[in-house]
Structure 1
Amino acid sequence: MESEREIIDLQPGKPSSSRRQPINLNHYATKKSMVGSMLDVALFLSNAMRLKTVLGHGPSSQYYATLITLISISLLLQVVIGILLVITARLNLNEVEKQWRINQLNDAATALVFLTVVLNVFITAFGAQETGFLAVRSLRNPL
């Protein structure tokens, strides 16, 4: 059974039904971190495929060095974000002495996610002419 220190009731007033239970903030934060990690893995796989495509086109393609650099930095940042999210998920949010540390880790992960999004916008902008739908379309209809 969980103590009052571990569960915080965010639903004030009288419960209207017997199904209403207090929210365990630590459980909520852990699930949130795990979902973030899964999304990070999805973006990581997407960037790995982009890297494979750029490498397949070879150094003669336009923006080759730029794309390799941007994708590599993005992949590195995603690994760091994943590590931060795993560390955050392992810490107990209900322990007051750890809350400051968890907040710092969460802020760092948020800043890195923002930077990764910006990098991926540039990766898409530089790589749009060489890969995917636009490349097939330009081969069929050179307009």
Structure 2
Amino acid sequence: MASETMEMNGDADRYKEDGETSRQGYRRRRMSPPLNMNHYANKKSAAESMLDVALLMANASQLKAVLEQGPGFSFYIPLIILISISLILQIIVGVLLIFIVKWNLNDESKHYQLNILENISTSLVFIIVVVNIFITAFGVQRPNTGA
């Protein structure tokens, strides 16, 4: 019966019993082929890498500002430590993302390892965010060069 294979948003199974592909609803909804999960994951990891690079540059700039202020700044040592931790964790996340992008999602033997790497990178990104909140709270100011 046709109603048994229907979902609210279209055909539940794309293949009819006679082997013919049900493509009418598919053409109406989208003109592109189905989502390639490997391609999607690679794009997602690339976007995360770009954000990681942007934060890496911001932290390098903050480190430069703290070093220019010198040891006389009240939070000099804590900021140096926090920024260094953030930079090191960002490099580790960047390396993890490279490994995640290189592995094929369609290989089921890699799913467990990919899941662990994704969880580790997500946890490290959370730690990086918390560390950067503390960096912001301690306040990195540029030194006054004018009179």
Q: Give the alignment's TM-score, normalised by structure 1.
A: 0.80
Can you list the C-alpha shifts for 1:94-127, whole angstroms capped at 9, x where unaligned? 1111111111100000000000000000000002
Change (3 A) 1:27 1:64: same
1:110 aligns with 2:128: no
Aligned residue for 2:141?
Answer: 131
Q: CA RMSD in A?
A: 1.9
Query: Moved runs in structure 1, 4+ residues, more than 2 A?
Result: 11-14
1:15 aligns with 2:15: no
Aligned residue for 1:77?
Answer: 89
**Structure with the greater alpha carbon radius of gyration:** 2
Cα deviation, residue 16, structure 1: 3.4
CA distance in 1, matches of 2:98, 2:106: 17
1:122 aligns with 2:137: no
Alignment of 1:42-121 (within 5 A): 42-121=54-133
Which secondary structure state, in structure 1, belongs to the residue aligned with residue 27 of structure 2?
coil
Sequence identity percentage: 46
Given the alignment, which residue of 45, 49, 52 partners 1:33?
A: 45
Gaps of 5+ in 2: 1-8, 12-24
Cα deviation, residue 12, structure 1: 6.1
Change (3 A) 1:41 1:12: farther
Give the number of equivalent residue pairs.
123
Gaps of 5+ in 1: 1-10
Can you list the C-alpha shifts for 1:40-64, whole angstroms capped at 9, x where unaligned? 0000000000000000000011100
Q: Give the alignment's TM-score, normalised by structure 2.
A: 0.78
